[in-house]
Homo-oligomer: A and B are copies of this chain.
Amino acid sequence: MSINSLGNRFKITSFGESHGKCIGAVIDGCPAGLPIIEKDIQEDVNRRRPGKSIISTSRSEQDKIEVISGVFRGKTTGAPICMLVWNKDIDSSQYELTRNIPRPGHADYPAKVKFNGFEDYRGGGRFSARSTVGFVMAGSIAKALILKTLHAKIIAYTSEIGGIKSKKLPLAIIEEQRFKNDVKCPDFEAGKKMGRIIENAKQMGDSVGGVIECIVKDIQPGLGEPLFGALDSELSKALFSIPAVKSVGFGSGLNAASAKGSENNDEYRISNGKIVTTTNNSGGILGGISTGMPLIIRIAFKPTSSIAQKQKSVNLKKFTETKISVKGRHDPCVVPRAVPIVEAMVALVIADLGIIGGFIPPIFEGDFN
């Protein structure tokens, strides 16, 4: 058994496996009348495809999206929207060889225990990052909904890879420059270093991790349903469903632990007739509700688990110790491809809480024709 739906009112149900027929998602609860531009969805999906450079997997999937329900004459109907991409470039050969030898850092072992060996293990099956194609398709619709109704924009970018950090840049620059290199870092110089670190890791049969920062600008105050539908709660829940995420923080995050209240509190002032704070250590969230300041979220990714270097493992069938070198086709760093996935998860949560909180209407204006 498993739980593959997320959200209360704007709900995604994910399905599909890495080496199965397809990857898909159903969105239920999208208001009727939202224009759906397939090429925008495709563009988001393309952003999570492997880059052309050395730094990514050689699996080559077209990932051409298909919307098979819920859209009529270019607009949502209020009915569930099913979208999918078909898997084409499947090579399961590596997986048969090592079926009983769990890859360190992967879900192989706990998944096998959980599903008694019935799981589709090929390519990681459900646990493959390939599942996130469905997240991105759904998130793309959520982003369109948010932009149209809340006028909020979600901007994620690579802020750290392998210890190299992007320098502090103005949000406008981040927004403009973040997709201009393969690592999705708006600081081009840092981006170059990151690229080199990834290449080095690959050559060493190794991998590196990193951090994505996500900012939501122009979000209104009042979003979030505490105590147990708090904005930070729901965001973190959604973000930890992305493979390889190990830490999620808001605003000053972990640094808040060593700060003083007088430093960490964000003082209020009035600016252009609006109530704002002079700092934003809260990351735009207080008491689980948005304050009206930008949301600031930092998500840490571990290095890719699949590495060519030999590692110790066990043969589950023979119950003996052994070694494994993960062949297959793998990214030495998941961070660049995870940028659109982070945006998707954040969008799904905001769409859901926006509807619950009454910020997003249940139906758009129509003309009864």
Contacts and interface: CB of A to CB of B under 8 A. Distances in A.
A116 B222 CA distance: 10
Contacts of A304: 261
A303 interface: yes
Given A80-B13, A82-B16, A270 B314 contact: yes
A10 to B, nearest CB: 8
A210 B257 contact: yes
A182 interface: no
A264 interface: yes
B69 A17 contact: yes
Contacts of A364: 116, 118
Nearest to A367: B117
A220 to B, nearest CB: 8
B247 A238 contact: no
A120 interface: yes
A141 interface: no
**Copies of this chain present:** 4
A169 interface: no
Given A82-B15, A232-B240, A289 B249 contact: no
A176 interface: no
Interface string A321-332: 100000000001
Nearest to A99: B369
Given A13-B13, A120-B77, A313 B222 contact: no
A256 B69 CA distance: 33
Interface stretch (A45-53, A146-154, A351-359): A351-359
Contact of A222 (B114, B224, B245): B114
A251 B26 CA distance: 33
Given A30-B1, A362-B358, A253 B311 contact: no
Contacts of A6: 228
A267 to B, nearest CB: 4
A63 to B, nearest CB: 16
Interface string A218-245: 0001101111111011101110110101
Contacts of A100: 368-369
Interface in A80-111: 80-82, 84, 99-100, 102, 104-107, 109-111
Contacts of A270: 314, 319-321
Interface in A246-291: 246-254, 256-270, 275, 277-278, 281-283, 286-291
Interface string A187-200: 00000000000000
Contacts of A81: 15
A77 B4 contact: no
A34 to B, nearest CB: 9
A119 B248 contact: no
A307 to B, nearest CB: 4
Contacts of A206: 260-262
A160 interface: yes
Task: Give me the 10 closest cross-chain CB pairs, A-B, nearest first.
Answer: A107-B287, A3-B229, A116-B366, A247-B249, A207-B261, A358-B362, A110-B289, A256-B302, A105-B265, A237-B237
24 contacts: A1-B29, A2-B78, A4-B228, A5-B28, A15-B80, A21-B69, A22-B69, A32-B119, A99-B369, A105-B266, A107-B286, A115-B366, A117-B366, A127-B226, A230-B241, A237-B237, A246-B250, A247-B253, A248-B248, A249-B300, A257-B300, A261-B305, A261-B309, A281-B302
